[in-house]
Structure 1
């Protein structure tokens, strides 16, 4: 008989394996040990098929009983239960005692198949000979936006053309806590708690005092519209009841 593909399922593993029907139950258990980590003597095996339900794979003489005695079918499930006490089982999911390999920066620099090597070859990021001038152009562009839009600390504004996000400019400058950012950011204290922070990022406070309300937001200058934007009065348009 040809080999039959089965799904082998245990507490710590699940994989597809091909099983030869002429194997004895004992042979099967020995072959399952490196797959499941369970010793043959501690295995309880059941076969789950769509047409025959769940059948225990066991016999009085497991050395002589072939697997062909059981209703094997392609992609049926072999469930292997570990009969050992929990304290005696290997915890294959616990990696706390496994020594971690850490590559040194010097060794990584020497590798030819790394992301760093690819960036060097493609002249990307800091390896781009034009990077300093490109960075300066970005910074100059942000500074120009700040001047052109009349962005200054203390002025009223709205963010992104959204009337519900009106507030006061509290900070203009670099925000080093934002990954990969260069140039000017504008910190706004919104009238309503619809922002992202309370005026601080990480351990740096840019304005105000600590608050649980999220009135603070940092955006690029092109999203700021300076003007006499009064705080919205939610009760302004309510009819008398």
Structure 2
């Protein structure tokens, strides 16, 4: 008989395998051990047919009972249960005790099929001969934006053209805690607690003291509009009662 494809399912694995009907149950169990990690003596096998019937794959003499004795059909499910006590089972999903290989930097440098090799070939990032001048141009552009907009610590402003996000500039400069933060940022203490932080970021405090209210926000200079923006009074338009 031709081999039959079955879905082999255990606690730690699931895969499609071809099974030979002339195998004995003992042979099947031996072949399943490297697939499931369960020793033959601890395997309890059941066959779930395409009609959803579940049949135990067992016999009094498993050395001579062959698989063609069972209603095998293509893509039926073969379920393998590990009968060992929980303390005796190997946790194949736990990789905490597995020593992880880390390639030495000098060996990685020699590889021709790595991301590093590709960056070198394409002259990207630090391998771009123009990178230093491009970075300087970006920093200079931020500084020009700050000067042009009159951004200074202590001045009133609003953020992003949003009239409800008014506040006071508390910091102007680099914020290394923000990924890709080349160039200056503007730290604003908003009048209302609608910000992203309390004046600190990544464990570094740039102004104020620790607070549960988030009045702080860091934005690029082009989003800051300096002006005599008074604190909004939500009650000023209410009639007297």
TM range, normalised to the smaller chain? over 0.9
* Shift of residue 173, structure 1, vs aligned partner: 0.7
* Shift of residue 240, structure 1, vs aligned partner: 6.9
Scaled by the length of structure 2, what TM-score is found? Answer: 0.93
1:71–1:170 CA distance, 2 compared to 1 (3 A):
same
Tell me if the contact between 2:50 and 2:75 (Cα under 8 Å) persists in the aligned partners: no
Which segments of 5 or more consecutive residues in structure 2 lack a partner in the other structure?
none
Does residue 59 of structure 1 match 2:59?
yes
1:214 and 1:142 mapped to 2: Cα distance? Answer: 26
Q: SS in structure 2 opposite 1:193? A: coil
Kindly provide the CA deviation profile for residues 71-124 of structure 1, in whole angstroms up to 9, marking residues without a partner as x. Answer: 222222111110111111111122222122122222222222221111111111
Which segments of 5 or more consecutive residues in structure 1 lack a partner in the other structure?
none
Tell me if the contact between 1:8 and 1:78 (Cα under 8 Å) persists in the aligned partners: yes
2:87 and 2:41 mapped to 1: Cα distance? Answer: 17
2:150 and 2:17 mapped to 1: Cα distance? Answer: 70
Give the CA RMSD over aligned residues. 1.7
Q: SS in structure 2 opposite 1:163? A: coil
Q: SS in structure 2 opposite 1:164? A: coil
Aligned to 1:69: 69
Q: SS in structure 1 opposite 2:107? A: helix
Correspondence list, 1:44-55, <5 A: 44-55=44-55
Tell me if the contact between 2:190 and 2:215 (Cα under 8 Å) persists in the aligned partners: yes
Tell me if the contact between 2:190 and 2:216 (Cα under 8 Å) persists in the aligned partners: yes
Aligned to 1:81: 81
Tell me if the contact between 1:45 and 1:79 (Cα under 8 Å) persists in the aligned partners: yes
Q: SS in structure 1 opposite 2:29? A: helix
Tell me if the contact between 1:52 and 1:71 (Cα under 8 Å) persists in the aligned partners: no
1:15–1:237 CA distance, 2 compared to 1 (3 A):
farther
Aligned to 2:106: 106
Aligned to 2:31: 31
1:240 and 1:63 mapped to 2: Cα distance? Answer: 96
Kindly provide the CA deviation profile for residues 129-174 of structure 1, in whole angstroms up to 9, marking residues without a partner as x. Answer: 1111111110111111111111111112121122232211111111
Q: SS in structure 2 opposite 1:157? A: strand
Of the structure 1 ranges 228-237 and 51-60, higher mean CA displacement relative to structure 2 is found in 228-237
Q: SS in structure 1 opposite 2:141? A: helix
Correspondence list, 1:1-241, <5 A: 1-237=1-237
Q: SS in structure 2 opposite 1:118? A: helix
2:76 and 2:216 mapped to 1: Cα distance? Answer: 57
Across the two proteins, how many residue pairs are aligned to each other?
241
Tell me if the contact between 1:171 and 1:206 (Cα under 8 Å) persists in the aligned partners: yes
Q: SS in structure 2 opposite 1:187? A: strand
